Amino acid sequence: MSEMYSVVMNQIVKRFGPVIANDHVDFRAKTGEIHALLGENGVGKSTMMCMLSGVYRPTSGEIVLHGKPVHIRSPKDAMKLGIGMVFQNFRLVPNMTAAENIVLGEASSFWRGPNWIKRKQEEVEALARHFGLGFPVNRPIWQLSVGEQQRVEIVKTLYRGADLIILDEPTSVLTPVEAEQLFETLYQMKAEGKTVILTTHKLKEVMASSDRISVMRKGKLTHTLDKADTNERELARLMVGKEMAVAKSLESHSPGKPLLIVEKLDVYADHGRKALNQLELRVNEGEIVGVAGVAGNGQSELAEVLTGLRAWRKGSIRFNGGELHNGSVRGAIEAGIAHVPENRMKSGLAGSLGAVDNLLFKTYRTKERSRFGFLRTSANRAWTQSLIEQFDVKTPSVDAPVRQLSGGNQQKLLFAREIHQDPLLMVAVHPTQGLDVGASEGVHQLLARMRGEGKGVLLISEDLDEVMQLSDRILVIYNGQMVGELARGEASREQIGMYMAGLRESGEEQAV
Amino acid sequence: MSEPLTATKLSNSSEETAGSRRFSFRIELDPSRKDSPWWITILSVLLALVLCGIFIGANGMNPVTVYMKMITGAFGTSFGLTETLVKSIPLLLCGIGVAIAYRISVWNIGAEGQFLAGAMAATAVTVYFPGLPGYLTIPLMVLCGIIGGGIWGLLTAIPRTYFQVNELITSLMLNYVAIHALNYFVFGPWKDPKGMNFPGSPMFTEAQSLPLVGDTRLHYGLIFAIAGVLLYAFLIRYTRWGYELRLIGANPEAARNAGIRISRHILLVMLISGGMAGLAGMSEVSGVTHRLMYGISPGYGYTAIIVAWLAKLNPLALIVSSFLFGGLIVGGYSVQTIGLPSSISSMMQGAILFCLIAGGMAYKFRIRRNG
């Protein structure tokens, strides 16, 4: 039986500090199949594949390749074993040509002769053509389109003799036509007996391309199915899970008057891509509005616009009866919008500074914190001390670099900074990401308390349990638009999952 | 499977591999290590001394004697000590300038040019307003020195802010522009008519010179330098503006989230950075050479980069490091008497910077046993 499988991963556990990315995962892929690893962002798909390609090592568990247990210690080891991975962010040297990138790292004699690279170019071109992967081999990478760069990456793995090819979110950078072409290539590889594993969160692609599907949820692999035995609807349900998060739902109360009204908002991302498209959103006082959705559908841009980090092109944002300043961080702070950014160490805190400086971020211009341009140093220290006690932040001292604190304490510090000023609206993006259960619970309590005090909360999260547990209303964002709105209680995971995957309701919902 | 079971399994497997696999190590990046501790700095400097010692040894000298000679030459006599202080004044002023820019990751390596621009601007006062009394001319020279250097700094900051031009390149290139501008003035319009063709401006009058301490060569520029460093320390630690700079330095992304406009800060910081170097240039012409002349700076602006780096941008450490580097320059002169070129001190400066950067880099890595 085991000969059938080219890869068997048994009881794989991967921990990053206190966070468990993979929790006793059993994964197996058959020889000569296209196997899709399906799951939302951050469920541990890429981590699993990185262990297979030698980027990470499993904390425990074993990997069996063609019936033999192996230790993959580095990408080089993986290469020797015939495993090649195409990462989401390409590993290419921009100013070298496609062919040079492909042969890079190849062991050969020091003197290669004048025709060496020409021969290699022909070799690469032949290989590429064989798999239907066209790209100009002698042009530098930076001149190639993203789709072409991906083809270079694929040919690189093939050139190195991989018979197990892993593609991490391959279609996220491709146009639909390019995606079609990619699938053709994958069929060709399959026909040659190569095993292909691709990770994705797009249901349509899974159904279009793969033979078998493994579904991951919260670091665990929950199901492995044959494509023939399933459909998009079932996959959507499996992806978001079935159990209801009713455990500690908040008591419902009637919300207050409208606080934030966003109308017909158009926002463009850094490279001119339209990130928000005629987006409509309303948050009332005393209400938690959850925004669910697969990453990259405009969540980051929505948070940035509301906090003044990004300007909008068209539409209007009315806040607390007035117009919000377009693209002004100070304007947003002064209007009373608090922000818990999605990556606290990247953009929320300054790791090398102490608690005092980190708490001062948004208030250092106020009279209480500084006078005539001078910081009120001793008053600020006392104030920090009191906030640290109030929010129960565990830190060795108010001067200790916050980098040294645990994730939960960092988040508490961030919340302390954002909440103590009595904001009217809290924009919290993935507020419990990377936190353990206890710390997450603390964050949830803080958000619930704000709601109780009549503040508005916009909770943007990929954790559906969190969104369902806390939100009075759940909005689902897809392609820069709110495609679904569900009230507390009437929301089912299945329905949300459908909206998240961009599937409109077809006919009446069936009983769950 | 439960938690403890996993743990045992893990430890078992690692024992096995340790026994069966050959002894091997790997070097990996440890993301928790950011700022290297003080002992890395000391170690780096010692390593630089050892490296230079090899060169000295290859020249047929005993490195220990040479180093002793340098130390006694720079710090051992009252003459040496005052010379060291004189050299450390421009180093400290330029060092403050570059340190303040480095705080917000603006890599100003143009202190040399800003120094010369300040020297030229101060000299312009003496050339075009020769008859002013001392209480007017010195403040005017200080002001012009700061403005001259500041403008030179802005020439780097403006393209960086508005057109994303790399400041390393512009600030470095402007150094050469400043050197050639200075040469133009001292060989051309400002040349001293009574100077027997010497490339320099006319000697400054008493009113145009900074007062000296006693009958040494030590001038009151020292007060500018100390005042500058104290002001720098105070501003960084106790003002809103200093807080903004610290925040930008620690995490520019977070600073943006706090509503700080980084581009505006770059302009102001480069103005100050250049202004400090310009003040150094002013105090050098007015306090030491008493004229603008060809080759006025032995590379103070470049040495200041190392001074700032050695001090890790810390204001009070800047005093110490500029004093040490002043001593290094003077010590370099004193070893000439035993037959070594004075460029030995340039070599040591380079070696120290090299080892400092390498030490900071090496600290970020850890060696782990494979398995």
Q: Where residue A248 falls among pLDDT bands split at 50, 70, 90?
A: low
Give tens-digit pLDDT for B65-85.
Answer: 999 999 999 999 999 999 999
Q: How far apart are CA B273 and CA A173, in angstroms?
A: 44
**Beta-bridge mates of residue A268:** A274
pLDDT at A411 over 80: yes
**Residue extents of the structural domains in chain A:** 34-49+75-239, 258-350+422-500
Q: How far apart are CA B329 and CA A17, in angstroms?
A: 50
pLDDT, position A387: 92
pLDDT at B12 over 70: no
Contacts of A352 in chain B (CB under 8 A): 34-35, 250-251
Burial A283-320 (b: 16+ CB within 10 A, else e): bbbbbbbbbbbbeebbbbbbbbbbbbbbebeebebebb
- Considering only CB atoms, A375 lies closest to which of B10, B240, B253, namely B240
CB atoms < 10 A from the CB of A124, how many?
A: 25
* C-alpha separations of B118 from A301, B176, B297, B323 in Å: 46, 15, 12, 22
Taking CB atoms and an 8 Å limit, are B370 and A308 in contact across chains? no
pLDDT, position B282: 96
pLDDT, position B72: 92
Check: CB of residue A167 under 8 Å from CB of residue A465: no
Mean pLDDT to the nearest integer, A231-241? 79
Summary mean pLDDT of chain A? 85
A407 touches chain B (CB under 8 A): no
Check: CB of residue A503 under 8 Å from CB of residue A236: yes
Measured in degrees and rounded to the nearest 5, phi and psi for residue A103 equal -90, -5
Contacts of B251 in chain A (CB under 8 A): 346-347, 349-352
Using a pLDDT cut of 90, give the percent of chain B over it: 61
A96 touches chain B (CB under 8 A): no
- Best CA proximity match to B280, nearest among B169, B149, B105: B149
- Considering only CB atoms, B247 lies closest to which of A13, A350, A375, namely A350
Structural domains of chain B, ranges and CATH numbers in brackets: 62-339 (1.10.3470)
Check: CB of residue A357 under 8 Å from CB of residue A350: yes
Q: What is the 3-state secondary structure (H, E, C) of A405-416?
A: CCHHHHHHHHHH
- Best CA proximity match to A365, nearest among B257, B241, B256: B241
pLDDT at A510 over 80: no
Mean pLDDT to the nearest integer, A191-204? 86
pLDDT, position B2: 37
Residue A231 CB contacts under 8 Å (≥ 6 apart), including other chains: A207
Residue with tokens 């800060």: B265
Residue length, chain A?
A: 512
pLDDT at A176 over 80: no
Mean pLDDT to the nearest integer, A438-452? 86
Residue length, chain B?
A: 371
Q: Where residue B346 falls among pLDDT bands split at 50, 70, 90?
A: confident
pLDDT at B3 over 70: no
pLDDT at A511 over 70: no
How far from each other are the two terminal CA atoms of chain A, in whole angstroms?
36
Return the minimum-mean-pLDDT range out of A37-41, A332-336, B242-246.
A37-41
Q: Where residue B117 falls among pLDDT bands split at 50, 70, 90?
A: very high
Element (H, E) at A65: strand A60-65
Residue A460 CB contacts under 8 Å (≥ 6 apart), including other chains: A290, A291, A299, A302, A303, A342, A427, A428, A429, A430
Structure tokens at A414: 């961030």
Best interface-test mutation with B: which of A375, A381, A399, A418 has the largest number of B CBs within 10 A? A375
Q: How far apart are CA A285 and CA A457, in angstroms?
A: 8
Q: How far apart are CA A397 and CA A389, in angstroms?
A: 12
How far from each other are the two terminal CA atoms of chain B, in whole angstroms?
24
* C-alpha separations of B268 from A78, A284, B156, B161, B246 in Å: 52, 42, 12, 11, 14
Q: What is the pTM of this model?
A: 0.75
Alpha carbon B224 to chain centroid distance? 16
- Considering only CB atoms, B6 lies closest to which of A60, A373, A375, namely A60
Q: Where residue A57 falls among pLDDT bands split at 50, 70, 90?
A: confident
Element (H, E) at B274: helix B262-284
* C-alpha separations of A297 from A291, A303, B3 in Å: 11, 12, 37
**Burial degree of A328 (CB within 10 A; 0-12, 13-18, 19+):** middle
Q: How far apart are CA A154 and CA A465, in angstroms?
A: 37
pLDDT, position A340: 92
Give tens-digit pLDDT for B254-288.
Answer: 999 888 989 999 999 999 999 999 999 999 999 99
Q: Where residue B170 falls among pLDDT bands split at 50, 70, 90?
A: very high
DSSP A67-129: TEEE---SHHHHHHTTEEEE-SS----TTSBHHHHHHTT----S---TTHHHHHHHHHHHHHH
B165 SS3 class: coil
Best interface-test mutation with A: which of B257, B262, B264, B268 has the largest number of A CBs within 10 A? B257
pLDDT, position A109: 65
CB pairs under 8 A between A and B: 84
- Best CA proximity match to A61, nearest among A16, A8, A12: A12
pLDDT, position B23: 62
Using a pLDDT cut of 70, give the percent of chain B over it: 92
CB atoms < 10 A from the CB of B147, how many?
A: 18
> Helix %, strand %, coil % for chain B, to 5?
75, 5, 25
Do domains A34-49+75-239 and A258-350+422-500 share one topology? The answer is yes
- Distance of residue A190 Cα from the nearest chain B Cα, in angstroms: 35
Mean pLDDT to the nearest integer, A302-322? 90
Residue A324 CB contacts under 8 Å (≥ 6 apart), including other chains: A306, A308, A317, A318, A331, A332, A335
Structure tokens at A301: 């841009």
Q: How far apart are CA A128 and CA A110, in angstroms?
A: 26
Contacts of A349 in chain B (CB under 8 A): 251, 254
Higher pLDDT, B20 or A172: A172
Q: At what angle do helices B262-284 and B134-163 cross, to 10 degrees?
A: 140
Greatest mean pLDDT among A202-211, A284-293, B166-175, B349-358: B166-175
- Best CA proximity match to A168, nearest among A272, A83, A66: A83
Return left, alpha or beta for B299; rule: phi > 0 is left, psi -120 to 50 is alpha, else beta: left
Best interface-test mutation with B: which of A10, A304, A342, A353 has the largest number of B CBs within 10 A? A353
pLDDT at A278 over 70: yes
CB atoms < 10 A from the CB of A112, how many?
A: 12
Contacts of A371 in chain B (CB under 8 A): none
Helix extents (H) in B164-261: 167-187, 221-238, 240-250, 252-257
pLDDT, position A504: 64
- CA dihedral B220→B224→B229→B231, nearest 10 degrees, is 140
Give tens-digit pLDDT for A360-381.
Answer: 988 888 888 888 889 898 899 9
Return the minimum-mean-pLDDT range out of A227-241, A385-399, A414-428, B8-22.
B8-22
Check: CB of residue A204 under 8 Å from CB of residue A211: no
Give tens-digit pLDDT for A67-118.
Answer: 889 998 888 889 889 999 998 888 899 888 898 899 887 776 677 777 888 8
- Best CA proximity match to A478, nearest among A221, A243, A204: A204
- The third-level CATH classification (topology) of the domain covering A34-49+75-239 is Rossmann fold (3.40.50)
- Nearest-Cα residue of chain B relative to residue A72: B371
pLDDT at B300 over 50: yes
Structure tokens at A164: 């197990």
Q: At what angle do helices B300-310 and B344-363 cross, to 10 degrees?
A: 30
Q: Where residue B132 falls among pLDDT bands split at 50, 70, 90?
A: confident
Return left, alpha or beta for A284; rule: phi > 0 is left, psi -120 to 50 is alpha, else beta: beta
CATH code assigned to A258-350+422-500: 3.40.50.300
CB atoms < 10 A from the CB of A117, how many?
A: 15
Mean pLDDT to the nearest integer, B113-135? 93
**Beta-bridge mates of residue A434:** none
pLDDT at B60 over 90: no
pLDDT at B176 over 90: yes
pLDDT at A221 over 70: yes
Give tens-digit pLDDT for A413-444.
Answer: 999 999 888 899 999 998 887 776 677 888 88
Summary mean pLDDT of chain B? 88
B166 touches chain A (CB under 8 A): no
Mean pLDDT to the nearest integer, A147-152? 88
Higher pLDDT, A416 or A175: A416
Contacts of B253 in chain A (CB under 8 A): 346-347
Structure tokens at A217: 């949820």
